[in-house]
Amino acid sequence: MSTPPPHESPRTTTPAPAGAPSLVAAGGWPFLITGLIGRLPAATVQLGVLLYVSGAGLGLGLAGLTVAATGLGSAVGAPLLGRMVDRFGPLPVVVSATVVQLLGMSSLLAVVLLEAPSSLILVCGAVIGAANPQIGAIARARWSALARRRRTPGLVSRALGYETACDEVGFVLGPVIAGVLVGVLGPNPTLVVLMVWVLLGQGCFIVYLAQRRNLSLDTRSMEVTDGTAPRIRWAAVLPPMLACLCVGTVFGSTQTALTAINAERGTEAYTGLIYGCMGVGSALASLLVFRLPSRVPLSVRVAAGGLIVGATAVALMTVPGPVPLGVLYAATGLGVGTLLVSAYTRGERAAPSHRMASVMTMLTTCIVLGVSFGSAMGGFLSEVPQRGFLITLGAGIAGLVAAVGMHLTRPESTRRVV
- Percent of residues, the chain, with pLDDT higher than 70: 84
Going by C-alpha positions, the residue among 359, 361, 346, 354 that lies closest to residue 411 is: 346
CB atoms within 10 A of CB 250: 34
Domain 27-221: what homologous superfamily?
A: MFS general substrate transporter like domains (1.20.1250.20)
Q: Which residues in 209-241 are b (16+ Cβ under 10 Å) and which e?
A: beebeebbbbbeebbeeeeeebeebeebbbbbb
- pLDDT tens string 362-398: 888 888 788 778 877 876 776 777 888 999 999 999 9
Q: Can you tell me the distance from the alpha carbon of 246 to that of 77, in angstroms, rounded to the nearest whole number?
A: 20
Q: Which residues contact 220 (CB under 8 A, 6 or more apart)?
A: 229, 353, 354
DSSP string, 39-90: HHHHHHHHHHHHHHHIIIII-HHHHHHHHHHHHHHHHHHHHHHHHHHHHH-H
Q: Which residues contact 8 (CB under 8 A, 6 or more apart)?
A: 146, 149, 212, 214, 215
Secondary structure letter of residue 5 according to DSSP: P
Whether the per-residue pLDDT at 414 is higher than 50: the answer is no
Axis crossing angle, helix 29-53 with helix 118-130, rounded to the nearest 10: 170
> Average pLDDT of 96-118?
93
Q: Can you tell me the distance from the alpha carbon of 134 to that of 340, in angstroms, rounded to the nearest whole number?
A: 16
pLDDT of residue 222: 36
Q: Reduced to 3 states, what is the DSSP secondary structure of residue 223?
A: strand
Q: Can you tell me the distance from the alpha carbon of 365 to that of 242, in angstroms, rounded to the nearest whole number?
A: 11
pLDDT of residue 389: 92
Q: Can you tell me the distance from the alpha carbon of 406 to that of 281, in angstroms, rounded to the nearest whole number?
A: 24
Domain with CATH 1.20.1250.20 in the chain: 27-221, 234-413
pLDDT confidence bin for 411, thresholds 50/70/90: low
> Average pLDDT of 315-337?
92
As a whole number, the mean pLDDT across the chain is 81
Cα 303 to chain centroid, rounded: 20
> Average pLDDT of 261-275?
78
What type of residue is 155?
Answer: L
- pLDDT tens string 169-217: 777 677 677 777 877 888 889 899 999 999 999 999 999 999 877 665 5
- pLDDT tens string 290-306: 778 878 888 999 999 99
- pLDDT tens string 341-356: 899 888 878 777 667 7
Greatest mean pLDDT range, 196-200, 234-238, 281-285: 196-200
pTM (two decimals): 0.72
pLDDT confidence bin for 412, thresholds 50/70/90: low
Whether the per-residue pLDDT at 14 is higher than 70: the answer is no
Instruction: Compute the chain's Rg from CA coordinates.
Output: 21
pLDDT confidence bin for 317, thresholds 50/70/90: very high
Q: Which is more confident, 320 or 172?
A: 320
> Average pLDDT of 106-111?
94
Whether the per-residue pLDDT at 8 is higher than 50: the answer is no
> Average pLDDT of 301-321?
94
> Average pLDDT of 252-266?
82
Given the candidates 3.40.1710.10, 1.20.1250.20, 3.40.50.2000, 3.40.50.11540, the CATH classification of the domain at 234-413 is 1.20.1250.20
Q: Can you tell me the distance from the alpha carbon of 250 to that of 337, in angstroms, rounded to the nearest whole number?
A: 11
pLDDT of residue 217: 59
For 417, the enclosing helix (H) or strand (E) is strand 416-417
Q: Most distant CA pair in the chain: distance in Å?
A: 65
Q: Which is more confident, 413 or 73?
A: 73
> Average pLDDT of 309-313?
96
State in Å, rounded, how far the first CA of the chain is from the last one.
29
Q: Can you tell me the distance from the alpha carbon of 305 to that of 328, in angstroms, rounded to the nearest whole number?
A: 14
